[in-house]
């Protein structure tokens, strides 16, 4: 029972993480861009459009948290979304080497950490 409660808390925390990240990406505060050495986007629309997965993926994490069963396919999907997102970001970083890459690396690493936490609590 304790493991289930811990898993649910981690899944809800990951929902909050993604939604907070979404708000920050839509807001694009200059101090945050400067912290990650990211240039202010010339075309904010495309930058903000890239944040949309942060609006969609938390729905799956919330459904998994509400379900609460460690072996639920929603938990598997939550882990999969995090890993696929991280791998996708890493591949794009390796092939494109964008300005402000530190910000994107942080998202990839965070996704892998969330996936690891969820998988660890699921065991």
For the stretch 6-64, pLDDT in tens is 999 999 999 999 999 999 999 999 999 999 899 999 889 988 998 999 999 999 999 99
Residue 112: CB partners within 8 Å, gap ≥ 6? Answer: 82, 83, 86
Contact 57, 16 (CB under 8 A): no
Scan for tokens 């925390």, then name that residue.
Answer: 13
Q: What is the pTM of this model?
A: 0.92
DSSP state of 52: T
In the chain, the number of structural domains is 1
pLDDT exceeds 90 at position 2: no
| Spatial separation of the C-alpha atoms in residues 99 and 93, rounded to whole Å | 10
Question: Which domain does 17 fall in, by range?
Answer: 2-122
**pLDDT, the chain, mean:** 94
Which pLDDT belongs to residue 47? 86
């Amino acid at each position: 029972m304790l493991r289930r409660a811990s898993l649910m808390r981690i899944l809800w925390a990951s929902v909050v993480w993604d939604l907070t990240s979404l708000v920050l990406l839509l807001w694009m505060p200059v101090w945050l861009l400067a912290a990650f050495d990211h240039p202010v986007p010339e075309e904010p629309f495309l930058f903000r459009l890239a944040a949309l997965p942060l609006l969609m993926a938390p729905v799956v994490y919330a459904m998994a948290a509400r379900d609460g069963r460690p072996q639920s396919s929603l938990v598997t999907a939550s882990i999969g979304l995090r890993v696929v997102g991280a791998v996708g970001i890493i591949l794009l970083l390796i092939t494109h080497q964008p300005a402000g890459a530190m910000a994107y690396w942080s998202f990839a690493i965070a996704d892998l950490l969330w996936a690891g936490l969820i998988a660890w609590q699921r065991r």
